[in-house]
Amino acid sequence: MPSYEPDRLRPASYAGMTQKGQNAMAVIELKNLTYTYGEGTPFRRTAVDNVSLSIEKGELIGVIGHTGSGKSTLIQTLNGLLRPTSGQVLLNGKDIWAEPKKIRQVRFQVGMVFQYPEYQLFEETVIKDIAFGPGNMGLTPEETLERAKKAAAFVGLSEDFYEKSPFELSGGEKRRVAIAGVIAMDPDVLVLDEPTAGLDPRGRDVLLAQILSYHKVRGNTVLLVSHSMEDVARIADRILVMNSSHAAMFGPTREVFARGEELERMGLRVPQITKILASLRERGWPVGTALTLEEAVRELYPLLEKGGVRA
């Protein structure tokens, strides 16, 4: 993987290329992917610079990085909305641009949920809108409807919603309709760009739980772009950190968040709970890296017991 500076990533981070990668097929593989906006104009700007990585089937990947780090551009190359300036995107081992005329097929296999997806709703009824994607795939009307219903169930939309206009729903419900519209294409890879942005805590928790259960039931690959480190820490297997157009880190969630100082230098945070334990570790207490509250309690409990200050 030529794009990585060898000293910055431990071998364990190459999960896609190591022992597991030998037999399991990577669902997505990026080879020296570069994307430059405005090529040939004075405004040219390289948004993704020589990124190589591979993602296994069934993984849940968190993608983090501040605005302008290149993460939005990167995900848009995955389903061929943007064509790489150089390098390749391999989907199940095949270059998605091998036959440019078939790029629409790729979009059914790599589903993309954009930020604020509720703004793309347009049909008269919820079920028709969800069926738009599968309808474009050339399925029979029965199959299309079947898929739409299944997708609606995944995001917790009951039959009562089917015949409603998407425009009369609440913000959170609209968002779920839009996500169902992408799930309905039954993609092998689902990419979600900040699916919880702007939702209140309740809406956010419900949606994250639905995404997680969909991922588990369907067993497909999910990429979740998020600014919320707490959310990513809770559900991601591995994390990709984008920083100034490069893939700065790509490894198991725990390992990435153990490098809090490096992340902070990139203008990123770690979950508050992770930070608390890291500070204690720095001051000499033998505590590990915690991603969730439960883990933190588990780490602290034996120490506090020893302290003997229990009331």
Which residues make up the interface to other proteins (CB under 8 A)? 66-67, 76, 79, 81, 104, 107-108, 111-112, 114, 117, 119-122, 132-133, 136-137, 167, 170-172, 181-182, 185, 197-203, 205, 227, 230, 267, 269, 271-273, 275-276, 279-280, 283-285, 293, 296-297, 300-301, 303-304, 306-311
Residue 102 amino acid letter: K
Among 179, 139, 130, which residue's Cα sits nearest to residue 159? 130
Closest approach of Cβ 4 to other proteins, in Å?
26
User: Between residues 15 and 177, which has the closer beta carbon with respect to other proteins?
Assistant: 177
Q: How far apart, in whole angstroms, are the C-alpha atoms of residue 108 and residue 186?
A: 7
- Name residues whose C-beta falls within 8 Å of residue 254's C-beta, 6 or more positions apart in sequence: 289, 291
Specify the pairing of strand 45-56 against strand 94-95: unpaired
Closest approach of Cβ 244 to other proteins, in Å?
14
User: Between residues 1 and 112, which has the closer beta carbon with respect to other proteins?
Assistant: 112
Closest approach of Cβ 148 to other proteins, in Å?
12
Q: How far apart, in whole angstroms, are the C-alpha atoms of residue 103 and residue 201?
A: 37
Closest approach of Cβ 93 to other proteins, in Å?
22
User: Between residues 2 and 307, which has the closer beta carbon with respect to other proteins?
Assistant: 307
User: Between residues 17 and 234, which has the closer beta carbon with respect to other proteins?
Assistant: 234
Q: How far apart, in whole angstroms, are the C-alpha atoms of residue 306 and residue 311?
A: 13
Closest approach of Cβ 32 to other proteins, in Å?
24
User: Between residues 86 and 167, which has the closer beta carbon with respect to other proteins?
Assistant: 167
User: Between residues 211 and 273, which has the closer beta carbon with respect to other proteins?
Assistant: 273
User: Between residues 6 and 284, which has the closer beta carbon with respect to other proteins?
Assistant: 284
Q: Are 224 and 195 in contact (CB under 8 A)?
A: yes
Q: How far apart, in whole angstroms, are the C-alpha atoms of residue 240 and residue 261?
A: 16
The token duo for 275 is: 């930070």
Closest approach of Cβ 7 to other proteins, in Å?
28
User: Between residues 213 and 285, which has the closer beta carbon with respect to other proteins?
Assistant: 285
Closest approach of Cβ 261 to other proteins, in Å?
14
Q: Write down the H helix ranges in the chain.
A: 19-23, 71-78, 103-109, 126-130, 132-135, 141-154, 171-183, 201-218, 229-235, 253-257, 260-265, 272-282, 293-307
Where residue 282 falls (left for φ over 0; alpha for ψ -120 to 50; beta otherwise) is: alpha
Q: How far apart, in whole angstroms, are the C-alpha atoms of residue 276 and residue 265?
A: 18
Closest approach of Cβ 88 to other proteins, in Å?
20
Q: CB-hemisphere CA count at 13 Å for 234?
A: 14
